[in-house]
Amino acid sequence: MIRALQMIFAPEGAWLKIAEKNRHFLFTLFVSTLPLLAGALAVEGFSIRKLGEGVDEFGKMTVPDGVILKYVLTHFTLGLAVIFGGSWFLLSVARSFNSQSSFSQSFNTMAIGASPIFLMHALDGIPALNTWLCFGIGAGLAVRALYHGVAVVIKPEQTKGFGLYIVSVFIILFLGALAHFIALSVLHGKIFREAGIGS
């Protein structure tokens, strides 16, 4: 949670500390990523249960507990898949640029850089807020955070740094949006349809 807030308000200084400590990816996964993702999704799931899911500008629908649980678990699983898959892809591209980066550096960059998207799940449970607006705000903050993170943690050659940054942004935006779309399909009954949900 603290790292996610630092990525929003003071990413430059936070990345310097992250690079200096150079933690193993398991530390980041268990101390930062899993608690943030699980906590934000729990808040979102609880909000959907109590307030309903917004379906248009004025309406909302009640969602059965089973569907909410499937939605939260789908989002959780896909969030981790985006981070692990994105880290592997970023590392592959970095090594093709002759970077000596480790998987832990790549994972830390992707997981901590994407933390604003995860944090926005806590607001996404409010029916009056459009889910894609919440994702867009989180994605914009993640793009800003990754600008500093790729340079400080991965440490690519100066001439190749911007290209690696663009790759990291593509990973977060494309895979993150795809994961969000799939999870929403579960919530709206288009996948794992249950009685009373979906059209």
Query: Could you tell me the residue ranges of all domains in the chain?
Result: 2-52+61-187
Q: What is the pLDDT of residue 182?
A: 95
**High-pLDDT (> 90) share of the chain, %:** 58
Single-letter residue type at 65: D
Q: What is the pLDDT of residue 138?
A: 94
Asked whether the beta carbons of 85 and 175 are under 8 A apart, the reply is yes
Q: What is the pLDDT of residue 92?
A: 93
Asked whether the beta carbons of 75 and 179 are under 8 A apart, the reply is yes
Q: What is the pLDDT of residue 7?
A: 81
Other Cβ atoms closer than 10 A to 100: 10
Q: What is the pLDDT of residue 134?
A: 94
Calpha distance 164→71 (Å, rounded): 32
Measured in whole angstroms, the distance separating CA 55 from the mean position of its chain's CA atoms is 23
Asked whether the beta carbons of 82 and 170 are under 8 A apart, the reply is no
- pLDDT tens digits, one per residue of 79-111: 999 999 999 999 999 998 888 889 999 999 999
Q: Tell whether the model's pLDDT for residue 57 goes beyond 60.
A: no
Q: Tell whether the model's pLDDT for residue 46 goes beyond 90.
A: yes
pLDDT interval class at 1 (50, 70, 90):
low
Calpha distance 117→7 (Å, rounded): 11
Q: Tell whether the model's pLDDT for residue 195 goes beyond 50.
A: no
- pLDDT tens digits, one per residue of 138-150: 999 999 999 989 9
Asked whether the beta carbons of 194 and 65 are under 8 A apart, the reply is no
Mean pLDDT computed over 41-67? 82
Mean pLDDT computed over 118-130? 88
Q: What is the pLDDT of residue 100?
A: 85
Mean pLDDT computed over 163-188? 93
Computed over every residue of the chain, the mean pLDDT equals 88
Calpha distance 165→158 (Å, rounded): 11
Mean pLDDT computed over 38-49? 94
Q: Tell me which long-range contacts 42-47 makes (C-beta under 8 A, separation of at least 24).
A: 42/72, 43/121, 43/122, 43/125, 44/72, 44/121, 44/122, 44/124, 44/125, 45/69, 45/71, 45/72, 45/125, 46/125, 47/124, 47/125, 47/126
Phi/psi for 52 (5° steps) reads 90, 175
Q: Which residue has the tokens 């093709």?
A: 96
Q: What is the pLDDT of residue 84?
A: 97
Give me the torsion for CA of 44, 170, 160, 155, rounded to 10°: 20
In the DSSP assignment, the letter for residue 151 is I
Q: Which residue has the tokens 């943030």?
A: 36
Mean pLDDT computed over 65-77? 94
